[in-house]
Chain A
Amino acid sequence: MPDSRADSLATAARRQRRLEAALPWLVIGGAFFLWEAGVWLLGISPFILPAPSAVVQAGLRWWQPLMQDSLVTLGTTLLGFAMAIVFGLALGVAIGSSTLVYRGLYPLLIAFNSIPKVAVVPVLIVWFGIGIWPAVITAFLISFFPIVVNVATGIATVEPELRDVLRALGARPLDIVRKVGLPRAMPYFFASLKVAITVAFVGSIIAESVAPNAGIGRLMMVASSRFDVPLVFAGLVVTGVMGVLLYWIAERLERRVTGWATRGQEGLTPGG
């Protein structure tokens, strides 16, 4: 009977996978349901906490400005994020492959990262004026740090023996970074992208609300000054959706590029 046993194992695994795929939706649906029920049962005023149905209504009513503003935010975020990738990779490689650069720059980097970026926005406005640039730069400033740290870690933790093998062959430091350091850092890099993209949103929205020019941050500021709390929540929901989408894209990319880092585990679920 080994066949039927393998079959039932495979069926169980399939069921498990289906459940795993459905679970996020179930949890989200459940949370919204509880929220709606709670608001109705406790009679909470929509100025304090609007029910999801009210949020959806506001979203539908104002869908045009919502779309426009979220596209603006998406654009500024992606621009800042792209800058963070380029700069973060370069600096990460430098820090990871040279102790000198590491010793010199790391304290400064940490100090810089501890500064709340809200405090920087006014300075950026003085420098760049009102426009998209304060938001782009804030998104960049807030999201490059995790990339730098992860890339540097990936490169700095190359096994000393492997380094010895290559150095003994006459490899220059640049060869070691290219052949070993960079490929090795890729899983770290992609892991950091997932963090970086979400905080990049935080950055641009902060800037948009401090310096209301355009974007979802400004929309929420305007809405809250009119006490249109449901619209504020609609903005929050749209932002969350964009964050999840970009996270998902980053994860897809990660799996394609750095499959080798997780291979050897995929065979564990039967029927895969």
Chain B
Amino acid sequence: MLDYNVFHTIAWPGAYAWYFFVIGISVALFFFSALSWFREEFQPLRKSGFYLSFVLLVVGGLLLISDLSQPMRFLNMINPAYLKFDSPLAWGSLNLITFGIASVVYLFFMNKGDDGLAKKAAVIGALLGLGLPIYTGFDLTVHQHRPVWNTPLMPVLFVALSLLSGAAVASFLAKGNEKLMVMLRRFMLWAGGATAAMLISLLGTTAYGGSAAEITFMFMTSGTMGMIFIGLGMLVGLAAPIALLLAPVGRQPMGVMAAGVLLLVGGMALRYAILIGPQIVHTYY
């Protein structure tokens, strides 16, 4: 029997996942650059990591603006007459801007050779940077009626994903430096393990949630979305690289870089699936 239903579009399209991806990498690379002031192993990433972080920050900002249906009005976000502080998005835009400012200050002192001030700017920048993946997750968490999004796991998950994708990109910048590769491998393993644990508990709680959560579980684990989330995201992009890193070849720079490639594929797939999957059920309501 034919029911009549009006369908609705999903609110946030897949393009937003690219922003999540790019900004996550940018923040992690900044973090590694900042870490170089405290851990000698990260020294090779101080400049190269930071420069790439800065480029990705600019790309991420432009992606975010181009995702608005009124891109030129992005200035409204920093107009004090309009800005509304009970919206998480308002905090996010301020976080992004302050991170950008901290990056410029860091660049300035680093190039001037003022190590003391550069180190301070690095710490402040890293803390502001940490805010960005937290805010990405928070931005999803606050939508109280969306299964998967509305869990306190989201901000932590996005921090872990940011470290994962960032370590993956950093492994290409490391130019085979043994000591750095050892550290990056550790980052990949810890962040990867944390991501896997979070995803498994997320799947469990979603499968046993209310009807909306259950249907979301079905949508996310079957069909094309299932291929992206489970296949590309969890198996190819997370389980496989962790297994690779644990194998003897995973201790070689080439092995770490190969794992990095898989992690990048997985990082993008997971962000896309987590963004889009939980919106599907609502398009039928």
Please say whether chains A and B are actual partners in one complex. no
Q: Could you tell me which A residues sit within 8 Å of B by CB distance? A: none
> Which B residues have a C-beta under 8 Å from some C-beta of A?
none
